[in-house]
């Protein structure tokens, strides 16, 4: 016997079956993360039920507490202001490592932590480039510069990005990314399907004469998890997923005048903890410290030089080859087309959205 239809009906309902009030939280005992409701219920976010073959118990689960909302908003302010602090300073000849370190210092100065190494991606590079120890790269003349910034408070993440055109001829690409982002955000509400958002983003970008990058997408944000189980496509796709109230997402259209596809380059500068199972005994203490510092969030060699003083990047690459770390390949546009990006973090509310990274 299946109880899924009953569960779905309850999740769609806006009324508490006990007190007949909308959006009700529990006021009684908690069991395994669920709290059973009494007949006097002040407002809350979403109801769920626990089902067994013998009985149905109604309960409510707060998807975001006030403390969690506060963390998300603090992270959003830090990330957006860090981006703003550097975006108007970007110029030809500026070292990429200077951009990365300035952004990361700013985030820390607010009492937050970087959620991932600052990405600075130039021209046909779409994502995942951060400066490594000793990086001598500089911003080239007449380039298209994408800066992607993340901050977190207790693992609650904000992710924001913008593109700077150092040549007027690239400004239409930037405007297309920004227009697609605005269109998507204006269409978000509880229940909106990911396929609908993907179609809107694709239509907007194509109407302006460019292509969306079809194998890059926005993503759900969860505590210490940069990419949750749901993604927000940048093209029309068949998706069974939809957005629900109090979920958090990074919406990020990528626009190109190339083929509309990214591929892995050989370069890897950003890593994420996976598992110590296959690591050498001598490496397990380092991995334990990496987990303690970053949990499931990405990091780079610049952040762990105290743990691995010599040949830091080489050691991280070795750990990624053994499966202890995940390495993010730098992503490049397959046809070497120029790429622009625009991104904001949003919280889905019951009557719309809150953009935590607006500036």
Which residue among 227, 244, 329, 354 is the active-site one? Answer: 227
Amino acid 8: pLDDT: 43
CA 108 to chain centre: 19
The stretch 322-328 carries a mean pLDDT of 97
The stretch 291-302 carries a mean pLDDT of 97
* Residue 28 reports pLDDT greater than 80: no
Give the Cα separation of 122 and 93 in Å (integer): 13
Give the Cα separation of 321 and 336 in Å (integer): 28
Query: Per mean pLDDT, which range of 59-68, 99-108, 140-149, 225-234 is the poorest?
Result: 59-68
Which residue among 68, 252, 283, 301 is the active-site one? Answer: 252
Residue appearing with tokens 């919280």: 347
Is 227 a catalytic site residue?
Answer: yes
Give the model's confidence band at 19: pLDDT under 50 very low, under 70 low, under 90 confident, else very high.
very low
Which residue among 104, 202, 301, 343 is the active-site one? Answer: 343
Amino acid 63: pLDDT: 72
pTM: 0.83
Is 301 a catalytic site residue?
Answer: no
Is 306 a catalytic site residue?
Answer: no
For the chain, what is the mean pLDDT?
Answer: 87
Query: In the numeric block, which tokens belong to residue 268?
Result: 């890897």
Which residue among 113, 159, 247, 283 is the active-site one? Answer: 159
CA 239 to chain centre: 19
The stretch 57-70 carries a mean pLDDT of 70
Whether 341 and 253 have beta carbons less than 8 Å apart is answered as yes
Within 8 A by CB and 6+ apart from 292, the residues are none
CA 210 to chain centre: 24
Which residue among 68, 113, 152, 219 is the active-site one? Answer: 219
* Residue 287 reports pLDDT greater than 50: yes
Query: What domains does the chain contain, in order, with CATH numbers?
Result: 4-61 (no CATH), 67-264+333-355 (3.90.230.10), 270-331 (1.10.10.10)
Give the Cα separation of 31 and 37 in Å (integer): 12
Whether 346 and 164 have beta carbons less than 8 Å apart is answered as no
Q: Which of 269, 266, 282, 271 is nearest to 323 (CA)?
A: 271
What percent of the chain has pLDDT above 70? 83
Instruction: Give the end-to-end CA distance of the chain in Å, rounded to a whole number.
Output: 52
How many Cβ atoms are within 10 Å of 162's Cβ, its own excluded?
A: 25
The stretch 38-43 carries a mean pLDDT of 34
Give the model's confidence band at 38: pLDDT under 50 very low, under 70 low, under 90 confident, else very high.
very low
DSSP labels, 161-222:
EEEEESSGGGHHHHHHHHHHHHHHHHT--TT-BHHHHHHHHHHHHHHTT-EE-TT-EEEE-B
* Residue 122 reports pLDDT greater than 50: yes
How many Cβ atoms are within 10 Å of 28's Cβ, its own excluded?
A: 11
Separation in Å, CA 94 to CA 86, 97, 143, 276, 332? 11, 9, 12, 38, 21
Q: Which residues of 127-142 are buried (b: 16+ CB within 10 A; e: fewer)?
A: bbbbbbeebeebbeee
How many Cβ atoms are within 10 Å of 61's Cβ, its own excluded?
A: 14
Is 148 a catalytic site residue?
Answer: yes
Is 292 a catalytic site residue?
Answer: no
* Residue 1 reports pLDDT greater than 80: no
Q: Which helix (H) or strand (E) holds 68?
A: helix 66-87
Q: Which helix (H) or strand (E) holds 119?
A: strand 119-122
């Amino acid at each position: 016997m299946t109880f899924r239809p009953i569960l779905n009906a309850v999740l769609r309902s806006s009324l508490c079956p006990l007190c007949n009030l909308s959006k009700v939280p529990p006021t009684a005992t908690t069991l395994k993360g669920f709290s059973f409701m009494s007949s006097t219920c002040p407002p809350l976010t979403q109801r769920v039920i626990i089902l067994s073959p013998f009985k149905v118990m109604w309960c409510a689960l707060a998807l975001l507490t006030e403390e969690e909302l506060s963390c998300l908003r603090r992270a959003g302010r830090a990330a957006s202001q860090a981006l703003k602090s550097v975006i108007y300073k970007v110029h030809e000849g500026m070292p990429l490592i200077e951009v990365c370190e300035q952004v990361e210092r700013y985030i820390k100065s607010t009492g937050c932590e970087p959620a991932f190494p600052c990405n600075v991606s130039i021209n046909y590079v779409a994502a995942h480039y951060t400066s490594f120890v000793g990086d001598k790269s500089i911003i080239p003349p007449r380039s298209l510069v994408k800066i992607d910034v993340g901050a977190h408070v207790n693992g609650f993440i904000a992710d924001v990005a913008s593109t700077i055109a150092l040549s007027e001829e690239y400004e239409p690409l930037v405007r297309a990314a920004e227009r697609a982002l605005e269109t998507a955000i204006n269409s978000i509400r509880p229940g909106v399907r990911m396929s609908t958002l993907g179609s809107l983003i694709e239509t907007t970008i194509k109407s302006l004469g460019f292509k969306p990058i079809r194998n890059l997408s926005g993503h759900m944000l969860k505590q210490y998890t940069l990419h949750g189980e749901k993604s927000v496509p940048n093209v029309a796709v068949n998706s069974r997923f939809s957005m629900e109230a109090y979920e958090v997402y990074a919406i990020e259209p990528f626009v190109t005048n190339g083929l509309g596809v990214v591929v892995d380059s050989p370069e890897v500068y950003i890593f994420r903890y996976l598992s110590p199972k296959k690591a050498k005994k001598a490496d397990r203490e380092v991995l334990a410290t990496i987990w303690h510092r970053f949990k499931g969030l990405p990091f780079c060699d610049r952040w762990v030089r105290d743990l691995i003083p010599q040949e830091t990047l080489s050691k991280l690459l070795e750990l990624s080859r053994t499966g202890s770390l995940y390495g993010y390949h730098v992503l490049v546009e397959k046809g070497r087309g120029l790429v622009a990006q625009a991104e904001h973090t949003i919280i889905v509310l019951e009557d719309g959205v809150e953009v935590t990274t607006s500036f």
